[in-house]
Amino acid sequence: MAAEPIALRLPWVEGNPSLRQITDDVCRPLATRPSKSWMACFAVALAALTLGAVSAGYEVATGIGTWGLNKSVGWAFDITNFVFWIGIGHAGTLISAILMLFRQKWRTSISRSAEGMTIFAVMCAGLFPLLHMGRPWFAFWVFPYPNSRGPLWVNFRSPLLWDVVAISTYFTISFVFWFVGMIPDLATLRDRTPAGWRKRLYALLSLGWDGSRRTWSRYETLSLILAGLATPLVVSVHSIVSMDFATSVIPGWHTTLFPPYFVAGAVFSGFGMVMTLLILTRRVMALERYITLRHLEAMAKILLVTGSLVGFCYLTELFLAWYGGNPYERAAFWNRALGPYAWAYWTMMTCNLFVPQLMWWRRLRTSVPVLFVVSLLVNVGMWFERFVIIVTSLHRDFLPSSWTMYKPTWVEVGILIGSFGLFFTLFLLFVQVLPIIAMWEVKSVRAGEAKS
């Protein structure tokens, strides 16, 4: 008897499920009542969101004075959280667009959740410039629409306007890409759902999808066009955010290294959050068959690469501060490493430079508990990176008489917690209402593995 051939690589979909079984497994959570674990997570997220809403309401009613800003530190938690959330959203575009163009099969099981995460992260990021305006009800002034204010226009040379353009463009393309990717699965839900309001909603959202060959051909063409449009955003959006700092004259900020440095850090933090969400989701919703260890290992390799790039940027900054001979640059980085905020700097270095190096060992990058802890530490480190860049460069001014310390108030901490509450509330609703795995993409991968 001839021996069965041994697969050189593990499959992307385990257990050889049929196409019907894939549909049943992905749609099952949508047709059943939420589990107790989902309800517990949703209650915690909703409580955090409520705290954030109360804190934001108090800040808007009272004024920006409720924040811990002072004469030297004019930016702090607000811009830190803004850059953090923008970075979180970068992994979705990378997984959806760039990996699609490169025909990477491992993206199929994780693309939908990453795309949804991008939408929710950009929404969280947009809150902070809005709140920092002080009078958010005038936020529409930043858009160049026909108005009766005569020659009074916004300053298009202001980095704030660059952020508005970047965020609105990024959100629009990401939302369209996310929605278009769900159309075949929405049609599947339309056909499986009994008559009622859910069926009518799915019929409306599926845009008359009939599954014909012509429909599939046009759909794939549209997906590639959107991927081509979205790919430059991975580089451009966070490069624009980095120019908020690089165009200034503050020591530690005005460097041409910031655009690639910020892009690498954004992908790094985004993949960390994707891994955190997927490890929890595959466990709670019993999707281990589709979100496999091979998927997690592929993301761990991305964390290793991008974490090494971020660490290289850290060391390059230190080298340039020493080699450039500018005493103010040297003082800024000396203050970061050994000053009063040294604890934040070394937390950043530990989480972003040293922890990802654990992924060199296959035993560690295929251990789910280790990956979960690493993914959490990555986002802790990336938050502290933004905090270190902003606060440590501002609290020591050119004049020693202006030197001061920054401490966040309960309002700022409450808004930060509320942003996490908003993010997880939206994500939990998403996994309960819409398919978190792209069924049609997983089926194509499964069919390809069956043929090979």
pLDDT one-digit tens code per residue, 208-219 = 888 888 988 998
Nearest to 273 by CA among 437, 383, 355: 383
For 19-71, the pLDDT digits (tens) are 788 888 888 877 778 888 888 989 999 999 999 999 999 999 998 888 988 88
Q: What pLDDT, on the 0 to 100 scale, is given for residue 342?
A: 93
CB-based contact 378:356 (threshold 8 Å): yes
> Of the ranges 144-148, 275-279, 281-285, 426-430, which one carries the lowest mean pLDDT score?
144-148
Under the banding of pLDDT at 50, 70 and 90, the label for residue 143 is confident
DSSP alpha helices (H): ranges in 326-397?
A: 327-338, 342-349, 362-365, 368-394
Under the banding of pLDDT at 50, 70 and 90, the label for residue 1 is very low
DSSP alpha helices (H): ranges in 8-35?
A: 19-31
Q: Give me the percent of the chain exceeding a pLDDT of 90.
A: 26
Q: Average model confidence (pLDDT) for the chain?
A: 85
Q: Is the pLDDT of residue 4 over 60?
A: no
Q: What pLDDT, on the 0 to 100 scale, is given for residue 448?
A: 63
Per the listing, tokens 């790039």 go with 309
Q: Is the pLDDT of residue 144 over 80?
A: no
Residue 1 inside a domain? The answer is no
Which whole number is the average pLDDT over 181-199? Answer: 86
Q: What pLDDT, on the 0 to 100 scale, is given for residue 8?
A: 53
- Can you give the CATH number for the domain in which 210 is found? 1.20.1630.10
Q: What pLDDT, on the 0 to 100 scale, is given for residue 231?
A: 82
Residue 163 makes CB contacts below 8 A (sequence gap 6+) with 82, 129, 240, 241, 244
Q: What pLDDT, on the 0 to 100 scale, is given for residue 452?
A: 58
Residue 131 inside a domain? The answer is yes
Under the banding of pLDDT at 50, 70 and 90, the label for residue 449 is low
Residue 102 inside a domain? The answer is yes
Per the listing, tokens 């502290």 go with 384
Residue 150 inside a domain? The answer is no
Q: Is the pLDDT of residue 450 over 60?
A: no
Of residues 284 and 311, more confidence is placed in 311
Q: Is the pLDDT of residue 181 over 90?
A: no
Structural domain for 312, as ranges: 43-138+157-444
Under the banding of pLDDT at 50, 70 and 90, the label for residue 451 is low
Which whole number is the average pLDDT over 160-186? Answer: 85
Q: Is the pLDDT of residue 447 over 70?
A: no
Residue 143 inside a domain? The answer is no
Per the listing, tokens 């916004």 go with 154
For 385-444, the pLDDT digits (tens) are 999 999 998 888 888 888 889 999 999 999 999 999 999 999 999 988 888 888 888 887
Q: What pLDDT, on the 0 to 100 scale, is given for residue 9?
A: 65
Structure-token pair, residue 164: 């508005």
For 110-128, the pLDDT digits (tens) are 888 888 888 999 899 888 8
Q: How many domains, the chain?
A: 1
Residue 149 inside a domain? The answer is no
Give per-residue burial for 89-109: e unless 16+ CB within 10 Å, then b: bbbbbbbbbbbbeeeebbbbb
Q: What pLDDT, on the 0 to 100 scale, is given for residue 44?
A: 93
Residue 334 inside a domain? The answer is yes
Residue 2 inside a domain? The answer is no
